[in-house]
Amino acid sequence: MQTIVIHSPGDLRVEEHQEAHPPGSGEAKITISKGGICGSDLHYFHNGGFGAVRLQEPMVLGHEVAGVVAELGIGVSHLKVGDKVAVNPSMPCGICQYCQNGQRNQCEDMRFFGSAMRFPHQQGLFRQNVTIPAQQLYPLQPDTDLTYAACAEPLAVCLHAVRQAGSLVGSNVLVSGCGPIGCLTVLSAARAGAQYITATDLSDAPLAIAAQLGAHRSVNLNSQPDALTSLAHGKGSQDVIFECSGSPKALASALEIIKPGGIIILVGLGGEISFPLNLAVAKEVKMMGSFRFDEEFSQAADLIDRKVVDLKPFVSSVIPFGEAKSAFDLASLREKSMKVQLDFDGK
């Protein structure tokens, strides 16, 4: 079978690897149909990693995939051959203190497909077929489009972020940074009952998609740098802010416009920052990180399976996996793409 492997920054190859092994007890072999290119995949592609996480060996990329069951091992009762499935890439150990405490996304021995956090690396899912524990698979209806099913993982990330904020019913919400995670956070906040959603970014193209997914107001801070000034009046106007860009400037702005006692959810990754601590203290701001997901994956897959979320505006391109380099180049252009997917059904 063929796989998509990153060797070093910019060195992305389509390579022949051994066929996935027949499924053992509790396992399933699936044929991958669609795979979404994530921001972390792009970090490996451009920089060889992010922060302290660095490539130390060639690694198959990919963790946002959906496919079809090809074979089943013994003891698998919730699936049958031919079922469409969404693949949960998160494999917590289930026995560490955090797993036992219901914080499985904080697992001390987490295995996550397509991640260089461990060594040897946990090889990813951009491959034509794979054999994995059947418990990682969420069965879908026959008419579910696998293009959208492959979006379950990023949607789960955003559902988790919204859950961290508590009830959004009747709230004024701002989403800072409208890449794929920011846009799906807009969608998730709208579904959670936010009264008014403001989306901000430095480019018009992602803001147009955010508007289609539920934003009431879209602000290009590159062309309108003072557009949020009015939101800071009266000590601030926003009940909840989802900071999805990882930008120090965006976080400083968030503290200006959040209401006293408001909530800032930190979703985007970034480096070391200077922080206006006095303002955060004086406004009694609640700040919380949001990392990956847990049971939100099944919730995301269910929403997609029931067709109650419209992801058509979100998926911008579907490209044959043999053109992986071109697909990664396109996914790197924010003005020309949102979610670029690889098609493993063809050649």
Q: What is the largest CA-CA distance in the chain?
A: 64
Q: What is the DSSP string of 134-172?
A: GGGEEE--TT--HHHHTTHHHHHHHHHHHHHH---TT-E
**pLDDT at res. 347:** 55
Instruction: Check whether residue 268 and residue 326 sit in a common domain.
Output: no
Residues 326 and 283 in one domain: no
Same-domain check for residues 215 and 95: no
123 located within any domain: yes
Which structural domain range is residue 107 located in?
Answer: 2-151+314-343
Does any domain span residue 68? yes
Give yes or no: residues 122 and 188 share one domain: no
Residue 129 sits in a domain whose CATH number is 3.90.180.10
120 lies in some domain: yes
266 and 338 together in one domain: no
Picking from 51, 61, 36, the residue whose alpha carbon sits closest to that of residue 114 is 61
Whether 329 and 255 map to the same domain: the answer is no
Question: Rounded distance, CA 137 to CA 343, Å?
Answer: 19
Residue 34 lies in a domain: yes
| pLDDT beneath 70: ranges in the chain | 347
70 found inside a domain = yes
Query: What's the CA gap between 307 and 304, in Å, rounded?
Result: 5
9 with 129, same domain: the answer is yes
- Domain contains 276: yes
Specify the pLDDT at position 51.
84
Together in a domain, 143 and 52: yes
Q: What is the pLDDT of residues 209-219, one digit of tens each?
A: 999 999 999 99
| pLDDT digit string, tens, across residues 308-326 | 999 999 999 999 999 999 9
Find the CATH number of the domain harbouring 225: 3.40.50.720
Residue whose token pair is 């910019």: 10
Residues 126 and 195 in one domain: no
- Could you give the number of structural domains in the chain? 2
Place of tokens 């959810």: 265
Using one digit for the tens of pLDDT, what is the confidence trace for 167-216?
A: 999 999 999 999 999 999 999 999 999 999 999 999 999 999 999 999 99
In a domain, 225, yes or no: yes
Amino acid (one-letter) located at 34? K
Q: Do 161 and 141 reside in the same domain of the chain?
A: no
Cα–Cα dist 61/126, whole Å:
6
Q: Say whether both 204 and 176 belong to one domain.
A: yes
177 located within any domain? yes
Give me the pLDDT at residue 272, please.
Answer: 77
Cα radius of gyration (the chain):
20
> How far apart are alpha carbons 128 and 54 in whole angstroms?
25
Residues 193 and 60 in one domain: no
